[in-house]
Amino acid sequence: MKYHLAVLLLLLAFSATAQTLDLEKTYAVSKEAQKGFIHMVNSRVEDRQFDVVYRVRAKKNQAKFITYTFDTDFNFVKESEELIDMEKELPEKYRPKKYRGENYSVEGLAVDPNMMGTLILKRKVTNFKWSWFFGGYTVDVDVAEKLKAKTDDDKKLFYHSHIEDNTAGNVMVLAGEKGSGKDGWIDHQKNFHFLKYDINLTKLADVSVNFETPHAVAAVYGYPTLDTDTKTDMIVVFAPLKIKNYTGPKISSLKANEYTYVRVSYEGKLLERITFSSPNSIWFIDDFILSKDGSVYLYGPANDETDDFYESRLTYEGNEKKKWPRYQLGKIEKGKLQFVTSTSMDDFEAKLRVQPDGKKGDPYKGRRVAFTENVIGPNGDIILCGQNYGMLRNGKGQVIGRGYEDLVMFHFDAKGNLVSQYTMNKKYKGTSPDYNFFEFSSDGNFLYWSYFDVTGTKAVRELDVAIEKPLATPKMAKISLKTGSFDKYSEYGGGDNFVHYGGITNYFKFQDANKVAYFGENKKGSVLWFARINLDK
């Protein structure tokens, strides 16, 4: 009896601190619209309206577009229909921002090193096919013949890493010189080149970065990699290398924790080269944040020694079960290292915050996390968000992919010191990471963390596509940046409505007020659902 009373009190307390909806509305669509799928959501800021456009099969090579127009308070304005000949060019109003035609191809370069690591460039054709259901392009690459190097220097390069621009066909390659003679075997890890080639194998840039002693490539950051990624600089972090079991003359005079950060612009200009001391010598950098002001943050787990030399990224990447004893966060700003902090697992455990349901949750213990979102707050705080993961297996025990588990979030202050760790337990494992969104209150004191928790699936058939459609429940946590604790927590949709999962817009941030809204459907797909939250109330 006491147990049931405790649960009831907990539920009442939990509900009392829940977020209050600013507005929630639904609208039933026609049975004809239900036979198709949501083609796009088009926002018209100047009219303070937005359109939800359904695409429905009509006659052969034709499609009917049914448009439901709403105002910014989700009031229904009008419904309209239009029959479109799909063999002609699609009218602009029905083209999503990423849309460049149903199918198109781009010639470019493929980077494909051989078994000895020699840099090989080949001709490729990248084929883009638009998926209306998923709201993006599927990419298929055909690799053709090997291209001959235009100069002798290009024949003697060792491949390290690269980024590809599939829209222009260019590539930027990090390569090392292949030496000769007794000690030439190590030259490719001393003398590096940032190379940029166009589709005709014309060398557009060649930036040399040389070291007196061997270095390993510890981490690489750069886009574009796929069709619509924004062009950025290429950033590489190098770590001093000590060849395992090597018994020859001394080849490394650096300390094991002396790292070097290099940044090269996409146009091929050396922007920064900074050597710094890492608190710990083996730093597995998970990812980078390129902030709007040009600052770069780098983060990932580390060892707890200062004299263990880095081996290779592959060595640590392949061991996903490894538990690291430390976690490091660094910041580069205006050509200078601002800080690199090192946080222990004991500190993570001490700063773990109780979850909204009163459960303690599990602290980060150095296991790999798949980070999917990050944000820099108005006060310079750094927020890293991801999920724990394990391996999914089929009935025969065979690994079929990752299973994404509990959500984790690290909150660091502007100097890189851990403020809090948060976790959100999940009932179901997902085959892909959950979506996350971050907003701040106008006074900068609170962080609003929205995430879409996949709580089930539903088999659907929309035109020629049959899939298990994820049913994602939107959830929001309000976190006090001053105290580092959960202030409020809410779940939306009441178990009947779910955000639209996929390429269609499902999260709105209003421009004239600090408000956000979720957009989705009921489980059947017969009713549109809108929910708006005021972040300053």
- Tokens of residue 349, six digits: 């455990």
Residues pairing with 440 in the sheet? 447
Query: Model pTM greater than 0.95?
Result: no
Q: Choose between 130 and 260: higher pLDDT.
A: 260
CB 22 within 8 A of CB 8: no
Q: What secondary structure letter does DSSP report for 309?
A: P
Distance CA 141, CA 267 (A): 25
Q: Hunting for tokens 């976690």 — which residue is that? A: 327
Q: Under 8 Å CB-to-CB from 470, ≥6 apart: which residues?
A: 430, 454, 456, 457, 501
Q: Choose between 247 and 111: higher pLDDT.
A: 111
- Tokens of residue 412, six digits: 């660091």
Query: What is the per-residue pLDDT for 170?
Result: 85
- Tokens of residue 405, six digits: 């588990």
Nearest to 438 by CA among 521, 379, 377, 513: 377
Dihedral, CA of residue 410, residue 471, residue 27 and residue 41, to nearest 10: 70
Query: What is the per-residue pLDDT for 228?
Result: 53
Distance CA 431, CA 108 (A): 32
Can you say whether the dihedral through the CA atoms of 173, 209, 151, 155 is positive or negative?
Answer: negative
CB 141 within 8 A of CB 112: no
Distance CA 509, CA 522 (A): 22
Q: Choose between 184 and 299: higher pLDDT.
A: 299
Q: Under 8 Å CB-to-CB from 11, ≥6 apart: which residues?
A: none
Residue 359 CB-density burial (10 A; 0-12 exposed, 13-18 middle, 19+ buried): exposed
Q: Choose between 474 and 433: higher pLDDT.
A: 474
Distance CA 38, CA 34 (A): 9
Q: Hunting for tokens 């500190």 — which residue is that? A: 347
Residues 56, 58, 63, CA angle at the centre, nearest 5°?
A: 60
77: left (phi over 0), alpha (psi -120 to 50) or beta: alpha
Q: Choose between 136 and 371: higher pLDDT.
A: 371
Buried b (16+ CB within 10 A) or exposed e, 143-161: eeeebebeeeebebbbbbb
Largest Cα separation within the chain, whole Å, is 84
6 — pLDDT class (breaks 50, 70, 90): very low
Q: Choose between 414 and 113: higher pLDDT.
A: 414
Residues 318, 321, 323, CA angle at the centre, nearest 5°?
A: 110
Mean pLDDT to the nearest integer, 246-255: 62
Cis ω before 240 (30° cut-off from 0) = no
Residues 431, 164, 236, CA angle at the centre, nearest 5°?
A: 85
How high is the mean pLDDT of the chain? 84
Question: Rounded to whole angstroms, what are the CA distances from 40 to 101, 357, 464?
Answer: 15, 36, 18
Give residue-wise pLDDT tens across range 479-532.
Answer: 988 888 888 889 999 999 999 876 667 888 888 888 999 999 999 999 999 999
Query: What is the per-residue pLDDT for 4?
Result: 29
CB 295 within 8 A of CB 331: yes
Query: Looking at the predicted structure, is the pLDDT value of residue 249 above 70?
Result: no
Lowest mean pLDDT among 187-191, 293-297, 458-462: 458-462
Question: Rounded to whole angstroms, what are the CA distances from 376 to 291, 330, 364, 411, 416?
Answer: 7, 13, 21, 10, 11
Question: For the CA atoms of the chain, what is the radius of gyration?
Answer: 26
Query: What is the per-residue pLDDT for 138?
Result: 83
CB atoms within 10 A of CB 462: 20
Query: What is the per-residue pLDDT for 183?
Result: 63
Query: Looking at the predicted structure, is the pLDDT value of residue 209 above 70?
Result: yes
Residues 513, 515, 519, CA angle at the centre, nearest 5°?
A: 135
